[in-house]
């Protein structure tokens, strides 16, 4: 009940309006006098959940008479309910009402909800979720993500106390993590103020039954390498009777030329498909890395026991007839589980279709699979049939590296495989098709790690809210489990596909094309209307049309019939031809504002475009092709796809996919910037008792940057830039808006009278080859000759090492003595001197 919940909250340092309960009118008066008016009276009864609805809340009581009347009135309304007493609490000042809750999700465990309270929560459902524990970044995102964020920022002309709110969210999260018996917790409302907050109502449900995950056996941290790259495989249940699954598995392994040893095990055969067969796996003399089990379910426990005895570490159980079939199967499955936990081996399946690893010529599928090309996509699918379907249908346009089917995932889960694929160099994009997430919290952790390195795209079935159980708290009712799925995916940086078509569209682009380095898109089309459709979707996807430099525009105009008006989308009209498109693209990719391209071509002429379009140097910028009604030109579409350019049937889909790539790339940058900032923070130093903080220069620093430039003397600027230099907003934009993959600008910052100020800036600019950087540094005049240049350079050289840079080059004018001295100090060698320029370089170990 409210007063008990508030007591627990108070004990955890959360501020509430109090938890006193009066059992008589006089006691209520005494409490009110002690608290000070105005006060609030509320019914306290285990039978009343929604107190206001039944008249159990009396607000703003300003004197003794009010309290007496309210007390009597409440009592008169609750004749049949059990009454514990009447709660007396301080009346909180008005503020912004929010709701904070915790519920427990079957797969992800404790989940935190935050949103605006009152009708915002009930009618507009303006709430957001995160799986716990939650990082500082996730907290910020959570607060910024709700639609009512603008109210938080500007409530009655004042911003609410965001840091107090964050502190509160952390306290609530910690409470839920520390006490697993708290099944649900809800503060509704919490009143947020420009300074601080107050929880005026609280509710908690406690459940002492241990949660399901507490019974799970903790996973050992070991690599699954031998499961995906075994040197020897035994197949229990191998046969040469055509049509049987044990035949198909053997046939697949042999015909795809599995490079390791194969041991068919079958007690009735001497040979299987020309290979010596063994009566039992125990008869195999050499060690066996992995075993595929395809015997009937009833015989599986014995087969698995033999494998364990043989010392096989990885088992792939492809037989069906386990937990998916009913009680008897469930029993066998749990026996097997106990067995493998005892023996310490890992098991994929049961009821799966094994693994395909094209980089290891290994096909374990139960369906016959013919030729496959090697590729960079990793696919994790629950159902073997789904994976097989994709493979048959899509192998013309998608190239897979590893396909893993997980079936009933009794042991090895989607998170385990995701973790492995994250480390496998052959895999560059990962797709997951899942019906349920059983690895919950671990999935969030692993996906969060992996998605920093490569894109992870998830298609999760069961988006609808069907089957939602009736629950008593808003938190639980608003947490239709799909909301929690979405939150968990967002939190871990995973891209969520809405359906199969969307998944394949994303996969084709992510696996074949580089990521865009900015939002500008050049669209080349043969018809204005498809260009408009692309444009609309670009802007909805947070992209925009590129603004080409005027000299490039002129050159493009010369490729067009002169009546056509040159702009982006470049409309070549129906007379468009491959050579013309090639010329336009080659001019367009030179623009600084073109970060990616969409080319819309006529379906009936697609054939003539394939070689031209796939032969162009796009300078590392992604290109997607759109052919309306491509379904009818599949032969040419396939040729184009196989040569690396994805083809979409609508410009909207092409634009949307580009938008997703851009979003991923931004997210990637954000993470990179964070990690570089952490590194720089550790390399910060003190000069003359002043703390000099190092951090990345970002777009938000434009004002500080302008101030910095203005603080430098013309001579200092000239020595650094070798030309007169002044700070205009355009130049500030160019110098501060930095792509962290191409360039790192390190700002040295001090705080002076409470204001931040930049005193030096150094840059590491990536050049060709990509493990070389160009180094430059400038120190403001008042800070020169205090070893700031040297300290900053030392930190930058550390950073370069951290980034695996091999060579640091620095070019300067010979009379820039301070810089030359710094470079000498770090043993830069002179590469060349030309007129008054000097080029020095340092090889890092
Ligand atoms: P319930 O949710 O059970 O109906 P609450 O305790 O949340 O009851 O009270 C209903 C509403 O009354 C709250 O949403 C809040 O607006 C207001 N309220 C409740 N307690 C206080 C209080 N101590 N100070 C100010 N307003 C309050
Ligand atoms: Mg309430």
Mind listing the pLDDT tens digit for each residue in 603-660? 888 999 999 999 999 999 999 999 987 777 889 999 999 999 999 999 999 999 999 9
Rounded CA-CA distance 787/764 in Å is 19
Helices (H), 348-430: 384-394, 414-423
Nearest CA to ligand 1 atom 21: 200
CA of 104 to the centre of ligand 2 (A): 20
Q: Can you give the pLDDT at residue 392?
A: 78
Q: Which of 37, 56, 59 to mutate to test the pocket of ligand 1 (most atoms within 8 A of CB)?
A: 59
Q: Can you give the pLDDT at residue 468?
A: 46
Angstrom distances, CA of residue 680 to CA of 357, 737, 796, 799, 800: 41, 19, 9, 8, 11
Please tell me which residue, 159 or 621, carries the higher pLDDT value. 621
- CA dihedral sign, ordered 470, 474, 475, 479: positive
Segment 427-463, tens digit of pLDDT: 999 999 988 888 788 999 999 999 989 999 999 876 5
Q: Can you give the pLDDT at residue 425?
A: 94
Instruction: Kindly give the number of the ligand 1 atom that is closest to the alpha carbon of 189.
Output: 14
Helices (H), 526-650: 528-540, 550-557, 578-588, 606-614, 634-642
DSSP for residue 217: P
Secondary structure of 762-830 as H, E, C letters? EEEEEECCCCEEEEEEEECHHHCCCCHHHHHHHHHHHHHHHCCCCEEEEEEECCCHHHHHHHHHCCCEE
Ligand nearest to the CA of 42: 1
CB 92 within 8 A of CB 17: yes
**CA nearest 368: which of 277, 255, 240?**
255
Ligand nearest to the CA of 52: 1
Q: What is the helix, strand, coil percentage profile of the chain, to 5?
A: 40, 25, 35
Rounded CA-CA distance 148/645 in Å is 41
Residue 220 pLDDT exceeds 60: no
CA of 2 to the centre of ligand 2 (A): 9
Q: What is the mean pLDDT of residues 354-380?
A: 95
**In terms of DSSP bridges, do strands 429-434 and 456-460 run parallel, antiparallel, or are they unpaired?**
parallel
Segment 455-511, tens digit of pLDDT: 999 998 765 554 444 445 666 676 667 888 888 998 899 999 999 999 999 999 999
- CA dihedral sign, ordered 624, 625, 630, 633: negative
What's the pLDDT band for 531 if we cut at 50, 70, 90? very high
Q: Mean pLDDT in the chain?
A: 91
Q: Which of 58, 96, 200, 203 to mutate to test the pocket of ligand 1 (most atoms within 8 A of CB)?
A: 200
Other Cβ atoms less than 10 A from the Cβ of 293: the count is 27
Determine what percent of the chain is predicted with pLDDT higher than 90: 76
Residue 716 pLDDT exceeds 80: yes
Q: What is the mean pLDDT of residues 192-198?
A: 96
Residue 161, C-beta contacts closer than 8 angstroms, at least 6 positions apart: 192, 193, 194, 195, 196, 197
Nearest CA to ligand 1 atom 20: 200
Instruction: Kindly give the number of the ligand 1 atom that is closest to the alpha carbon of 93.
Output: 25
DSSP for residue 632: G
Residue 93 pLDDT exceeds 50: yes
* Residues shown for the chain: 845
Q: Which residues line ligand 1 (CB under 6 A)?
A: 17, 40, 42, 50-52, 57, 59, 89-92, 97, 189, 200-201
CA of 202 to the centre of ligand 2 (A): 7
Q: Which of 201, 204, 473 to mutate to test the pocket of ligand 1 (most atoms within 8 A of CB)?
A: 201
Q: Can you give the pLDDT at residue 215?
A: 40
CB 720 within 8 A of CB 780: no
CA of 157 to the centre of ligand 1 (A): 24
The pTM is what? Answer: 0.84
Q: Can you give the pLDDT at residue 268?
A: 93
Q: Can you give the pLDDT at residue 463?
A: 54
Q: Can you give the pLDDT at residue 467?
A: 43
């Amino acid at each position: 009940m409210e007063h008990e919940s508030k007591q627990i909250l108070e004990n955890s340092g959360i501020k509430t309006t109090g938890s006193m309960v009066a059992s008589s009118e006089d006691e209520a008066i005494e409490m009110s006098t002690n608290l000070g008016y105005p006060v609030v009276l509320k019914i306290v009864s285990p039978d009343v959940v929604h107190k206001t609805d039944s008249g159990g809340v009396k607000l703003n009581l300003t004197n003794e008479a009010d309290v007496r009347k309210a007390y009597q009135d409440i009592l008169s309304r609750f004749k049949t309910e059990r009454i514990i007493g009447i709660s007396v609490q301080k009346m909180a000042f008005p503020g912004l009402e929010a709701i904070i809750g915790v519920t427990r999700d079957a797969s992800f465990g404790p989940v935190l909800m935050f949103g605006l309270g009152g009708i915002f929560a009930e009618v507009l459902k303006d709430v957001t979720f995160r799986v716990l524990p939650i990082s500082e970044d996730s907290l910020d995102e959570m607060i910024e993500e709700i639609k009512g964020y603008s109210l938080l920022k500007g409530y009655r002309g004042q911003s609410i106390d965001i840091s107090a709110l964050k502190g509160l969210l952390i306290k609530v999260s910690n409470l839920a993590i520390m006490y697993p018996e708290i099944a649900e917790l809800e503060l509704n409302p919490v009143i947020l103020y420009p300074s601080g907050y107050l929880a005026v109502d609280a509710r908690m449900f406690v459940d002492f039954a241990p949660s399901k995950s507490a019974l799970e056996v903790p996973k050992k941290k070991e690599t699954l390498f031998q499961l995906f790259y075994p040197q020897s495989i035994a197949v229990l249940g191998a046969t040469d009777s055509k049509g049987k699954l044990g035949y198909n598995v053997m046939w697949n392994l042999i015909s795809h030329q599995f490079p390791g040893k194969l041991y068919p095990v079958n007690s009735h055969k001497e040979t299987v498909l020309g290979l010596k067969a063994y009566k039992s796996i125990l008869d195999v003399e050499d060690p066996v890395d992995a075993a595929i089990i395809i015997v009937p379910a009833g015989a599986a426990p014995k087969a698995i026991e033999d494998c364990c005895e043989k010392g096989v570490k990885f088992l792939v159980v492809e037989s069906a007839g386990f937990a998916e079939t009913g009680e008897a199967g469930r029993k066998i499955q749990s026996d097997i589980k106990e067995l493998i936990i005892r023996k310490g081996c890992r098991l994929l399946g049961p009821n799966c279709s094994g693994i395909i690893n094209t980089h290891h010529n290994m096909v374990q599928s139960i369906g016959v699979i013919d030729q496959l090309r090697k590729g960079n996509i990793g696919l994790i699918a629950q159902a073997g049939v789904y994976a097989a379907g994709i493979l048959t249908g899509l192998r013309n346009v998608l190239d897979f590296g590893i396909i893993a089917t997980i079936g009933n995932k009794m042991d090895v889960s989607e998170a385990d495989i995701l973790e492995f694929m994250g480390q496998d160099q052959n895999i560059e994009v990962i797709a997951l098709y899942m019906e349920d997430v059983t690895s919950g919290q671990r999935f969030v952790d692993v996906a969060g790690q992996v998605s920093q390195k490569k894109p992870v795209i998830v298609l999760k079935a069961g988006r609808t809210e069907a089957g939602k159980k009736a629950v008593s708290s808003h938190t639980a009712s608003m947490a239709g489990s799909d909301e929690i799925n979405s939150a968990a995916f967002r939190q871990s940086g995973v891209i969520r596909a809405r359906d199969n078509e969307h998944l394949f569209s994303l996969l084709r682009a992510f696996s074949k094309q580089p990521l865009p380095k900015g939002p500008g898109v050049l669209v080349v089309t043969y018809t204005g209307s498809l260009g408009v459709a692309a444009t609309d979707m670009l802007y909805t996807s947070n992209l925009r049309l590129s603004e080409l430099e005027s000299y490039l525009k002129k050159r493009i105009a010369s490729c067009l019939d002169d009546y056509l008006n040159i702009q982006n989308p470049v409309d070549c009209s129906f007379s468009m031809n491959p050579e013309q498109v090639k010329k336009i693209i080659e001019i367009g990719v030179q623009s600084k504002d073109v970060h990616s391209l969409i080319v819309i071509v006529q379906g009936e002429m697609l054939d003539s475009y394939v070689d031209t379009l796939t032969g162009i140097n796009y300078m590392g910028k992604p290109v997607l092709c759109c052919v309306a009604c491509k379904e009818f030109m599949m032969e040419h579409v396939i040729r184009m796809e196989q040569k690396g350019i994805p083809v979409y049937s609508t410009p909207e889909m092409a634009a949307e996919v580009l938008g997703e790539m851009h979003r991923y790339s931004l997210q990637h940058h954000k993470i990179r910037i964070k990690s570089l900032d952490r590194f720089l923070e550790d390399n910060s130093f003190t000069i003359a008792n002043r703390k000099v903080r190092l951090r990345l220069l970002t777009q938000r620093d434009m004002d500080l940057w302008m101030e910095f430039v203005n603080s430098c003397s013309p001579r200092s600027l000239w020595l650094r830039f070798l030309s007169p230099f002044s700070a205009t907003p355009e130049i500030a934009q160019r110098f501060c808006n930095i792509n962290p993959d191409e360039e790192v600008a390190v700002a040295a910052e001090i705080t002076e009278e409470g204001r931040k100020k930049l005193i030096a800036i150094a840059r590491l600019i990536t050049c060709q080859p990509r493990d070389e950087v160009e180094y430059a540094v400038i120190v403001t005049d008042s800070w020169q000759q205090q070893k700031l240049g040297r300290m900053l350079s030392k930190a930058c050289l550390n950073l370069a090492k951290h980034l695996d840079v091999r060579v640091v080059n620095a070019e300067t004018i010979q009379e820039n003595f301070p810089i030359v001295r710094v470079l000498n100090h770090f043993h830069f060698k002179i590469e060349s001197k030309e007129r008054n320029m000097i080029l020095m370089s340092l090889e890092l170990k």
